[in-house]
């Protein structure tokens, strides 16, 4: 019997999964999150990261810094700078984890590779997590890092006119929220937002008519409700949720930086991603949207799959066009 099955009475989407993604699906952990389970998952992730060997052969300088925030605490960032000299564009990166778990080091290898491939400085933020730190704590942490990069551009070898934000899942949600917040505060101009299966709508998974084929794997509607409840400090889907917490709630998207959105067709975040892209285009924001058939949430855990390679290629090319418009 397959380890992964649909619940009784529900329609399984497993037959729609890209065959090259099936093996990875069997290895990805699946949790029913609760206050009791969350510390165990966090510890397991920390243990896994501690056991990872240092990558070799990538010509990137990696430094760790602590940044003081206006709120009186400090946060850690990992700075990835490709070998060589000269001023480069920058990408502020936020890791995924449903707003409730994760570390900047989770993306160590991919950030090293992206720094080389996109010839940019990547600054990855260890923002505070919910539920210990509800909204707007994590967003303010990321904004403090963004402001620090902008204010210290010369020392970092960064062109402050070419700063982008990027993230996966909850990190994509924070990137989208940062774009909104930066527009409204008017202190740091952004040129691009790179949103990889972003978590941007607290209402997903709370409605009476969910998509029949999304959210079965990896990140479910139940996980989504726990993540959003942790971030908001109350049940998701109700009235009065800030657009800086859930950018899908924003009424005015005009003036935001150009966007790239990539999401799998079986991902719980499919419809909110499509709708956000539609609204961005209606607001005059240059937007590139890709939906990858047969792909579930975090499908890039299967790096050899052709659909993963296509998604990574599309996201890289979009970033290159934004950061290096002089290159044809």
Residues tagged active-site: 169, 267, 297
Bridge partner residues of 78 (DSSP) = 64, 124
How far the first Cα of the chain sits from its last, in Å, is: 51
Are the C-beta atoms of residues 191 and 262 closer than 8 Å to each other?
A: no
Bridge partner residues of 291 (DSSP) = 263
Element holding 159 (H helix, E strand)? strand 158-168
Are the C-beta atoms of residues 229 and 282 closer than 8 Å to each other?
A: no
Two tokens at 16?
A: 């729609």
Three-state secondary structure of 250-293: CCCCCCCCEEEEEEECCCCCHHHHHHHHHHHHHCCCCEEEEEEC
Between CA 160 and CA 85 the distance in angstroms is 16
Q: What is the dihedral of CA 191, 196, 197, 202, to 10 degrees?
A: -50
């Amino acid at each position: 019997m397959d380890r992964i099955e649909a619940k009784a009475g529900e329609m399984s989407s497993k037959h729609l999964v890209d065959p090259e993604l099936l093996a990875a699906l069997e290895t990805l952990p699946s949790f029913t999150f609760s206050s009791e389970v969350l510390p165990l998952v966090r510890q397991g992730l920390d243990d896994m990261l501690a056991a990872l060997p240092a990558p070799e052969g990538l010509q990137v300088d990696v430094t760790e810094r602590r940044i003081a925030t206006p709120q009186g605490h400090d946060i850690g960032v990992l700075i990835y700078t490709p070998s060589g000299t000269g001023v480069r564009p920058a990408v502020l990166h936020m890791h995924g984890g449903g707003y409730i778990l994760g570390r900047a080091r989770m993306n160590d290898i991919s950030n090293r590779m992206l720094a080389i491939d996109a010839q940019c400085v990547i600054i990855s933020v260890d923002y505070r997590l919910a539920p210990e730190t509800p909204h707007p704590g994590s967003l303010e942490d990321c904004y403090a890092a963004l402001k620090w990069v902008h204010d210290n551009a010369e020392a970092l070898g960064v062109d402050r006119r070419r700063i982008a934000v990027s993230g996966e899942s909850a990190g994509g949600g924070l990137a989208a929220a940062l774009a909104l917040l930066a527009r409204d505060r008017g202190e740091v101009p952004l040129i691009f937002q790179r949103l990889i299966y972003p978590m941007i709508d607290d209402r997903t998974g709370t409605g009476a008519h969910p998509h029949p084929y999304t959210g079965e794997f990896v990140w479910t509607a139940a996980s989504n409700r726990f993540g959003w409840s942790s971030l908001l400090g109350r049940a998701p889907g109700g009235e009065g949720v800030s657009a800086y917490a859930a950018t899908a709630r924003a009424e005015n998207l005009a003036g935001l930086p150009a966007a790239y959105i990539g999401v799998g067709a079986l991902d719980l975040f499919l419809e909110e991603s499509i709708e956000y892209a539609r609204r961005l285009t209606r607001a005059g924001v240059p937007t590139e949207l890709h939906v990858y058939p047969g792909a579930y949430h975090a499908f890039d855990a299967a790096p050899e799959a052709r659909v993963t390679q296509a998604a990574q290629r599309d996201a890289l090319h979009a970033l290159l066009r934004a950061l290096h418009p002089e290159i044809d």
